[in-house]
Amino acid sequence: MNAPTGSLLQLTAAGIRFVENLAAIALLIAIVVDVSLQVVFRYVLSHPLSWSSELATYLFEWLTVLGMAIAQRERAHLAVQFFADRSPAVRDALRWLAWGVSLVFFALLLFGGYFFFAGDTIQSGPATGIPLWAVYSCLPVGAALGLYHVLYDLPRVIALRHSPQADLRPGHR
């Protein structure tokens, strides 16, 4: 394929976006089904499931870290605009500061998460039997996705020098 780099990058970004969204939806559905089953088995059938709560916790961990990466992609994290509205120079400095803090955060989470996940290769969940490396791998995976979104956003951060505030809205790439 001789597609231009911009097209390939956009196609890759769209693919990553699709997989992230699909995974988040699947995780949310799995949590709802799991918790619903637990309610039915506990209160209707009077035979609670021993593994349901543990599985819901593991799924929620994955959803939380994946959601953090999606929020980075959509620029949906909380922002206080009080100081950014003071001047274009302050707005630019704060934009770069936010970008740099995000970069450092996801890089540290990637490396720390990798060591945390790699250190638990033997243990498994007591009720589910799920290997804990599969649970803790959410940290490096989510951090890698968040780091990808931070780096993907760099050209936008560079291009927004002294630009109006409207360009900072979530979802505008």
**pLDDT at 116 (0 to 100):** 83
Lookup: tokens for 59 = 């799924």
51 in Cβ contact with 79 (< 8 Å):
no
Return the amino acid letter for 143: A
Its pTM stands at 0.82
| pLDDT value of residue 5 | 57
pLDDT computed for residue 1 by the predictor: 42
Q: pLDDT tens, position by position, for the chain (173 residues)?
A: 444 556 888 898 899 999 999 999 999 999 999 999 999 999 999 999 999 999 999 999 999 999 999 999 998 877 777 766 777 788 888 888 888 999 999 999 999 989 888 876 788 888 988 988 889 999 999 999 999 999 998 888 888 775 655 445 444 44
Query: For 133, how many CA atoms within 13 A lie in the half-sphere containing its CB?
Result: 8
Q: What is the DSSP letter of 122?
A: S
